[in-house]
Structure 1
Amino acid sequence: MSLSRRGLLAAGGAVGALAATSGCAEAQSGATVEQSGASVARSGHGSRVRTGFDRLAADGYAQLSGQRVGVVTNPTGITEDVRHIVDVMHADERVNIVAVFGPEHGFRGTAQAGGSEGRYDDPATGLPVYDTFGKSGQPLADIFTTSGAQTLVFDIQDAGARFYTYIWTLYDCMQAAALAGKRFVVLDRPNPVTGRAALGPVLDKAFATFVGREPISQAHGMTVTELAGLFNGEFLAKPVELETVRMSGWRRSDFFDGTGLPWVPPSPNMPTPDTALVYSGTCLFEGTNLSEGRGTTRPFELLGAEGIDRKWAEAANALGLPGVRFREAYFAPTFSKFQGKTIGGVQLHVHDRKSYDPVRTGIALLVTAKRTWSGFAWRPDNWIDKLTGSAKVRTMIDAGAGTDEVVGAWRGELAAFRAVRKRYLRY
C-alpha cells in the first residue's frame, strides 16, 4: 500500500512523511526516455516546444523497435505540421501499429460529452479501433490482450483540470496495462494553462469517479508524463512498466499560445486554449442548474440561466478578483441546458493570465450566483461534490460561507498535495 493510500494527503504529519521518503518512483518503475544531445532550439517548422512524439520520431522510434504497438489517442495526437501520429506511424515501416484505443469523444473525436465511437475499423488506416470509455481494470486489460499489442503508447492533449477525463483514461490504461503485462509509454504535451501551481480542493477518495479517481487537486499544474509518474508511484497497486518521453523547450510558465504548437480541440466543448484557461473553475457550473455555456461558441466562458440579470455581473466585479472581469451577457444555447432559450448571465474576460486564479474565480461565481439569483440550485444528484472532490464546497456555500472561507477550507490538503506533486515534476 502506498503512502498516499494510508492518508498521505491529510494535512499535518503527511508532509513530513513525504520529506522522509527517498527515491524517485519514476526511476523505480520505469525510465524517462531522453534524446541524447537534444537541444531546445526551434525546430524546422518554428515551434519552440517539441512534443514527446516529435522526440520519439526524431530518435527513429527506438523505444518501439520490435514491438507490436497500440496507441491510446484522439484528434489531439498530431505532429507539428498537423498530421495525426497514427497516420504517420502507420506509414512508417519502423513502427508496427496493431491497434488504436479511443477515449471519451472517440479516436476521431466525433462524440459529444459522455459518449464515444465504439469499436470499428479506422477507414483511413484499416486499423482496429477499440473503445476505452467507461472501461477499466480487468475488462480493459482483456481488450489490450485481445488487441495483440505488446507496448501501449499514450498521446492525448490534457486541459489541466482534475475532472477532465483524459487523465483518468491515462490512469485506467496504466492500471489495465499492468494487469495485462504490457509496457506503457507516455508521450508528453504541454499543460495548456502552465505548470506553475496546483490549485483548489483535493479529492476525497470517498467521492472518486471517472472525473476524479485519486486525491489530486482540482487544477493539478502537471503534464501527462508527470501525472503518469505520480499515478505509478503513489496510487497504482501494481505499477506498470512505464517509460515517458518528455518535451524539449517547454517551461512551466508557458501558456499554450507561447509554445508555437497547433491547438486541436481535445473535446467538442474545449474549442480554444482560452476555454482551458477558465475550465478548472467554471466547469463547476455543471453541478448547478445554470448553463455552463455548452451550446454556445464560448463554453465555460459564458454562464447563465433564465431570470438572471445584471446583478450577478455587478456582484462578481465588486469582488475585485485578480486578472478577470465579468460582462453582463445574454445568449441562447443551441443544445444542453436552456436549449433555444435566451438566458442572462456573465461572460468571463481574463485580462491578466498570470494573476488569474480559475478555481477561486469559480468559487466566487458560485457564491455570488447563489446570493443574487433566487432560482439557484445544485443538480439533484449533487454532481458538484464529484467535481470539487467532497461535499465541503456545496455545504459551506449553502451555509452562507463566502469565497475566502471556502477557499481557506482546503489550504491544508492542498499544501500536502503540493508536497507530493513536487517529487514528480520533470521540468
Structure 2
Amino acid sequence: MKKKQNEEKTPALFPTAFKSIGQKGGASPLAFSYSKLSMYTECPLKYKFKYLDKIKEEPKSYFAFGNSIHKALEFLHAVSNPPFPSIEEVLESFKKQWGLKSWLEKGYKDPAKEETDFRKGVEMLKAYYAANKDSLKPPFLLEYSTDVEVDGLKVRIIADRIEYAGGGEVELIDYKTGKDVKRQPDQLYMYQKISELDPRLKEKIAERYGQKVSSVKIKQMLYYHVPTLKQYHFERAGDKEIGVFWDRVLGAAENIRGMKFEPNPGEFQCHFCDFKNLCPVHADSSRPPASSAVLPAHQKKQPSALGGQTDGGEVPRGSAAKVEALVDRYGHLKEEMDKLNAQLDEVARELGGMHTGEGKKELSGEKYSLELSRGENWKFGDREAVIGVLNEFDLYQKALGLTLPKIVAMLSDPAVPEAAKNKLKRHGARSTRLEINLKKKIES
C-alpha cells in the first residue's frame, strides 16, 4: 500500500478530476485515496496546492529509495511459474531502477548520500532474499490497483501484495522501508473498506482459483519492515471502527467539495512543507514562528491572548484589539488573493484568445513583455489499458514509474513502434495549453 509521492516530482499519469467539487451529489464522483485524506487532515491548503493547483513538490530521497526497493521486490515476486529470480538478478533490477534518475532528481543533497543509500538498499535486499528465498511462491496479486465508487467518492487503493487465504478471505501485505513502523489506522481502515467493496477482487479470485465467492473479507493486514525483516500483523477492524472512520472520510470530502482550504499551521506540517512561499501564514517569514504554531486541540490547552484558556492551540500574545486586527487582516488578504487569482485567470484567457496558431507570439505593454506559446497536453484515463499496451510491446521497463512525461516522450520516440504509439494515443486525450513567459522591461 503505497503513499504515492508520486507522490514524485513529475505530473501524475492519471490526473485527479475535480468536476464534482462544490456540487453535492454531483454526477462526477470525487477522486479520493488514503494519501489525499492524510494530506487534507494535515493541512487543507496544502491539499489544494498539491491536488487542485497541481503545484510540484520537491523530490524526496526517501521516496526514491522506497520506490526502488518496492520495484526490486515486485521483480522478485512477479513470477507465475518458478523458478524465481536469483539474488544477482534482483540486485541488477534494483541497480537499473536506481539509475533512472540522477541524485538531484531523486532529492539527494549530494552524491555521497545517494551512494550510501544505494549500498544500504543492496544489503537490505540481500537480507530479504536470504530470509525468504526458501518460502517464495507465486503471489495472488502484486501492485494491485483498483478504484471503487462509494458514497459519491471514487476511492483508489494500491496494494503491494495480496495473498488469498481461501473462503473469500485475503491478506494484504504492505512493504515499509522507513526507519520504523507505526500503525496507521486510517490506511488500514481505508484498505479494508475498499477491498471488501471491490467487485474486481471477486473476479480475480474466480479467475485464479476457480472459486465464486459472494463477498471478500480481509483476514489480516501485514506491514513487512524490510530493513529489520520484522512483520507486524493487524487483525480486521470491527464495523464500528470502520463506521467512525468513514464518517471522517465523508466529512473531509464534503469540505473539499465546499472548497474549504484554510491553512492549518503547526511545527511539524510547516517544517516539511514545500509550499511555504505560497502560504499566507508564512507571507512574512520562511518558517513558522514558535508562538504561532497551532497544535491539535487534543494535545494541550494554551493561554489565549486574552489571558484565558483555548482549546484551539497556541495564539500570539497581545491585546484583544491586536488579535482582532490580525484576524481581520488575514481575512482581507485571503479575499484579495482570491480576487487576484480570478482576475489573473480571466486575463490569461483573454491573452490566450489572441494566440490561436502554432509557434510563439510576443506581446508588449509599457512595463512588461510576454511570450505566448501553445504546449501539448496528454491525459490517459484507463491505467490498466495503458499498462496492457506497454506490456504488449515490452515497453513497461522503459516507462517505469508510469509518469506522464515518460509516456508522452514515447509518442515521439523513434525507437517506439508506430503501432504502440497509435494504441497509446487511442487511450489518451490530446489538448493544448497556453504558456505565458512574462518579463519586466528595464526602466530607462
Greater share of strand:
2
TM-score bracket relative to the smaller structure? under 0.3
Q: Please report the TM-score for the alignment, with normalisation by the length of structure 2.
A: 0.25
Of structures 1 and 2, the one scoring higher in RCO (CA 8 A, sep 6+) is 1
Structure 1 or 2: larger helix share?
2
TM-score of the two chains, using structure 1 as the length reference? 0.25
Higher Cα Rg: structure 1 or 2?
Answer: 2
